[in-house]
A and B are shown apart, each in its own frame.
Chain A
Amino acid sequence: DTAVSQTPKYLVTQMGNDKSIKCEQNLGHDTMYWYKQDSKKFLKIMFSYNNKELIINETVPNRFSPKSPDKAHLNLHINSLELGDSAVYFCASRRLAGTGELFFGEGSRLTVL
């Protein structure tokens, strides 16, 4: 069983469309993250949730809206996609009181045409 799974792994879409990426972890972790990795490989934190509560909300356009229906799931919805949104989006999870290790999903590569 994959510990942190993201779907879909690849998305190709047109500018202006709306898309969602889903993330699920089966590790029993209480904290989940979304990171954006751009073409230069920079990893930038977008959001962090702890037990369904939004904890970190970095400077991200309002077009990005995370949702955590329960502590095992953290989804990312993106409205009105722009060319600059093209990137790899990583979901990750950890146990806040644990070893500190982040467990990553395989990433979702979003290409906006």
Chain B
Amino acid sequence: AQTVTQSQPEMSVQEAETVTLSCTYDTSESDYYLFWYKQPPSRQMILVIRQEAYKQQNATENRFSVNFQKAAKSFSLKISDSQLGDAAMYFCAYSPSGTYKYIFGTGTRLKVLA
């Protein structure tokens, strides 16, 4: 079965510091997408960053970057220069290309300390 695991239920980071959120997944597929979504207290789910499995280069979006290790089936999110507005639940998600499956991890609550 395809699963997504986030082993850190909660993380804290000092404002302006860097934090890394972990995600591992299990699949036998070779072509798929990986995502990180953010859910602030407002409840709205927002895409932070996405990675296509066939691309070796790690995706980057401003202060957000990923460390994608395909062989290890690991997809961690690094947030640099953390800001108070980064405080939220972060969900890792997996979707095999061309399919309807879209599986979310259990989430990591990120607290940003002033």
Contacts and interface: CB of A to CB of B under 8 A. Distances in A.
Interface of A: 31, 33, 35, 40-43, 45, 48, 50, 55-56, 88, 90, 92, 94, 96-97, 99-102, 104, 106-107, 109
B36 to A, nearest CB: 11
A22 to B, nearest CB: 18
B54 interface: no
Interface in B6-59: 33, 35, 37, 39, 43-45, 47, 50, 52
A50 B100 contact: yes
B85 interface: no
A48 B104 contact: no
Pick the 8 closest A-B CB pairs, nearest first: A100-B33, A104-B45, A43-B104, A48-B100, A55-B100, A107-B43, A41-B107, A101-B47
Interface residues of B, number: 24
Give the dominant DSSP class at B's interface.
Answer: strand
Interface in B95-114: 95, 97-98, 100-104, 106-107, 109
B98 A96 contact: yes
Given A41-B89, A42-B106, A88-B43, 10 more contacts: A43-B104, A43-B107, A94-B102, A99-B33, A100-B50, A102-B37, A102-B93, A102-B102, A107-B43, A107-B44
Given A41-B107, A42-B107, A43-B91, A104 B100 contact: no
Contacts of B101: 56
A106 B27 CA distance: 30
Contacts of A101: 35, 47, 50
Contacts of A48: 100, 102
B95 A100 contact: yes
A73 to B, nearest CB: 18
